[in-house]
Amino acid sequence: MNPSSNLFLVGPMGAGKSTIGRRLATHFGLPFIDLDEEIERRNGVSVALIFELEGEAGFRSRESRLIEELSCRDGVVLATGGGAVLAETNRRVLHGHGFVLYLSATVAQQLSRLARDVKRPLLQAPDRRERLEAMAAQRNPLYEEIADLTVTGSNTAVAQAARQIAARLETQWQRKAVAA
């Protein structure tokens, strides 16, 4: 058991990290932060534009700095981007400063959920399935490496899925009290 006041969500794009994360934050009475949204808010530009101007390396550098900062807070629910686990430092920070919930999703689920998505830079590929399969092969072992709890994706309604995950967390996440 990884006792922590923080809950960090990891997993591939389309797994539901932001959607489920918001509901879990409400359930547990904690603030919610979407890492990509926070990067956009602080930089005043979209993730896509950061990718365009600085490439993936520039984006990952910004992402790592923000993970370092946000992970030091007490009592937050943080939905990371799908590639946040690529940096070993990020994995160490996330696992060391929070309870890590891995929301898994099959490539078929991702394709269905992301069918209309045109803003994610890494999805801009001639063959989305091939791109998602390659990312899954690289990233899934990294998600598993740091996960305190893994929840397999389903086609359950979001509200029901969030309730089921919250119930599992109630029994498996030993929350430390937040310092006043």
pTM surpassing 0.85?
yes
pLDDT digits (tens, 9 = 90+) for 79-117: 999 999 999 999 999 999 999 999 998 888 877 776 676
Rounded mean pLDDT, 118-147: 85
Q: Quote the CA–CA distance of 66 and 58 in Å, as a whole number.
A: 13
What was the pLDDT predicted at 122? 64
Q: Quote the CA–CA distance of 78 and 25 in Å, as a whole number.
A: 9
Query: Could you tell me if 142 and 88 are in contact, meaning their C-beta atoms sit under 8 angstroms apart?
Result: no
- Residue 71: exposure state from Cβ atoms within 10 A (0-12, 13-18, ≥19): buried
What single letter denotes the amino acid at residue 172?
Q
Q: Please state the domain extents for the chain.
A: 7-172
DSSP state of 176: P
Q: Quote the CA–CA distance of 111 and 122 in Å, as a whole number.
A: 13
What was the pLDDT predicted at 120? 67
Instruction: Look at the block and give the residue holding tokens 């943080």.
Output: 78
Cα 142–Cα 148–Cα 149 angle in degrees, nearest 5 = 95
Q: Quote the CA–CA distance of 114 and 103 in Å, as a whole number.
A: 16
CATH 3.40.50.300 describes domain 7-172:
yes
Q: Which of 19-23, 115-119, 120-124 has the highest mean pLDDT?
A: 19-23
**Average pLDDT over all residues of the chain:** 89
Instruction: Look at the block and give the residue holding tokens 């890494």.
Output: 122
